[in-house]
Amino acid sequence: MTALKPAAPKSTADAHRPNAHYVARGRLVAVVTHLCVITGVLLSIFPFYWLIVMSTSTTGEIFGYPPKLTVGSSFAENVRSVVSSVDLLQALVNTIIVSTASAALVMFFDSLAAFAFAKFDFPGKKPLFILLIATMLVPGSLSLVPSFILMSELGWVGTLQALIVPGAANAFGIFLLRQMAAGSIPDELVESARIDGAGFFTTYWRVGVPLLRGGLAFLGIFTFITAWNDYVWPLIVLVDPERQTLQTALQNLNSLYLTDYGMVMAGALISVVPLIGVFIIGSRHFIANIAAGAIKG
């Protein structure tokens, strides 16, 4: 409740009662606020710091008591053991392929459909859009078993397309981009493109894509991160130990070399660093859109 204080404009409080007590109390509130926030940030960040500590320490140092709280010097050695134990480099390449292909396909197919839904009329548009929204309510875990059977019928078990193709167009992205296109693309632009003789695909490319850039950036980053972190489905469908993603390779490393903590942690660090980079670069688009989706939804 105290958190609501700033809703009272400070300026009026100061104007009415410009005494030292009040100013001091305001300052105290600010200090306490910062202290609470910083504590929260430290709790948020600490596991990452601890990951760095462990991945740079020998297993002996990790098991030691009292625990060593500072960054060690065995990172290169740990990475060498990782590389000689599992093919993490291949897993990294596979993960980059899956994440990039998923993001690119989702951005393309979702924006095409969103543009058609937002700016054009065609018979059956409304029921088709309702159907699209309804599909979002179906939980993914419902179809793990039959999807696996389908993949084995298609001969896709153990392949990367089993991870890329099923999600190449998704209802969430189409819905999100449709909302954005409806609000941000003026009808006049679409109409004038049409008068100039441009067909749907030309209009999409010249008018739709440039005006949807922000939404596309968000959807691309979101899809990339989701695909990068996906775990259940790769765990089920990537049966070949030679062809894994980072997440499944890391879990293999974890279950096979449970006792070599330094090495497992180095693998874990390698698997999260590229993603954190992508997130920090795109964080502005990302955070604002996540929040906006919740408020409007």
Site for another protein in 211-250 (CB under 8 A): 225, 228-229, 231-232, 235-236, 246-247, 250
Check residue 130 for interaction with another protein (CB under 8 A).
no
Helices (H), 185-245: 187-195, 200-203, 209-211, 213-229, 232-237
168 with 110: CB under 8 angstroms? no
40 binds another protein (CB under 8 A): yes
Near another protein by CB under 8 A: residue from 219, 238, 261, 263: 261
**Would you say 270 and 79 are in contact if contact means Cβ atoms under 8 Å apart?**
yes
CB 70 to another protein: min, Å: 13
Is residue 222 a contact partner of residue 209, using CB atoms and an 8 Å limit?
A: no
Q: Is 31 in the site for another protein (CB under 8 A)?
A: no
| Binding-site member from 78, 81, 170, 244 for another protein (CB under 8 A) | 170
DSSP secondary structure of 148-169: HHHHHHHT-TTSTHHHHGGGSS
The distance from CA 147 to its chain's CA centroid, rounded to whole angstroms, is: 24
Q: What residues between 194 and 213 interact with another protein by CB under 8 A?
A: 194-202, 204-205
Stretch that binds another protein, among 16-24, 76-84, 132-140, 184-192 (CB under 8 A): 132-140
Question: Residue from 70, 127, 137, 183 that binds another protein (CB under 8 A)?
Answer: 137
Q: Which of 25, 27, 34, 213 binds another protein (CB under 8 A)?
A: 34
Angle made by CA atoms 189, 193, 194, in degrees to the nearest 5: 115
